[in-house]
Chains A and B, each alone.
Chain A
Amino acid sequence: KQEVTQIPAALSVPEGENLVLNCSFTDSAIYNLQWFRQDPGKGLTSLLLIQSSQREQTSGRLNASLDKSSGRSTLYIAASQPGDSATYLCAVILASKLTFGTGTRLQVTL
């Protein structure tokens, strides 16, 4: 059974800091991996999709990497802003099913 863990569970940083969120999964037989953010009480907003043939994907201040052999993905956020405050979730994708991590709750303070 696939298990996905995210570390840290919560993180508070001052505005402007660069930060790294970690995602690890137990079964490397995944197809793609997708990162999402979720604001309180809301749905999921897709941030980045790393396809099976890729090792990295970038969008603006966000960069995500994937190492399937070691069962790890990282999400790097550059120059964090208060608007980045949210819960970040990684999801591994296989056979039309997403298995989600436990999430990292990020707070960026002024």
Chain B
Amino acid sequence: KAGVTQTPRYLIKTRGQQVTLSCSPISGHRSVSWYQQTPGQGLQFLFEYFSETQRNKGNFPGRFSGRQFSNSRSEMNVSTLELGDSALYLCASSPGAVLSNYGYTFGSGTRLTVV
């Protein structure tokens, strides 16, 4: 059973540019969540998508957006990149029920560096 696939693994972007990250969940999982990990703030929740709808959202500016496709694959977009957006972005997959007794499976992450 394939795990959670995130692409690309590494990205270097310039301030002001935009970037799109991709996440393919485990087959059959309908929920995809995104997290940002930085040394100073730790792991912070960005948003969660379920059946192509954003179901939950963290406290990030509108420059951070996402979407989910009918095959449950998700993309995250960051516009007008800032140096502080440099982080490891992690995607998590779960079956999707809110009161679920299944845990979350994470991908290997995308390391974004903004210069």
Q: What residues make up the interface of A, taking CB atoms closer than 8 Å to B?
A: 31-32, 34, 36, 41-46, 49, 51-52, 89, 91, 93, 95-100, 102-103
* Residue contact A31 to B111, C-beta cutoff 8 Å: no
* Residue contact B56 to A43, C-beta cutoff 8 Å: no
A46 contacts which chain B residues (CB < 8 A)? Answer: 103-106
Q: Is the interface of B mostly helix, strand, loop or mixed?
A: strand
Instruction: Tell which of B33, B105, B108, B111 touches A97, judged by Cβ atoms closer than 8 Å.
Output: B33
* Residue contact B33 to A43, C-beta cutoff 8 Å: no
A-B contact count (CB 8 A): 62
Min Cβ gap B92→A in Å is: 7
* Residue contact B108 to A42, C-beta cutoff 8 Å: yes
Most buried by B among A32, A34, A91, A96: A96
Min Cβ gap A42→B in Å is: 6
**With A96-B31, A96-B48, A102-B42 in contact, do A32 and B103 touch (Cβ < 8 Å)?**
yes
Min Cβ gap B5→A in Å is: 11
* Residue contact A49 to B103, C-beta cutoff 8 Å: yes
List 17 contacting pairs A-B, 8 Å CB cutoff, sorted by A. Answer: A34-B104, A43-B107, A43-B109, A49-B102, A49-B103, A93-B104, A95-B98, A96-B33, A96-B48, A96-B94, A97-B56, A97-B58, A98-B92, A100-B42, A100-B43, A102-B42, A103-B42
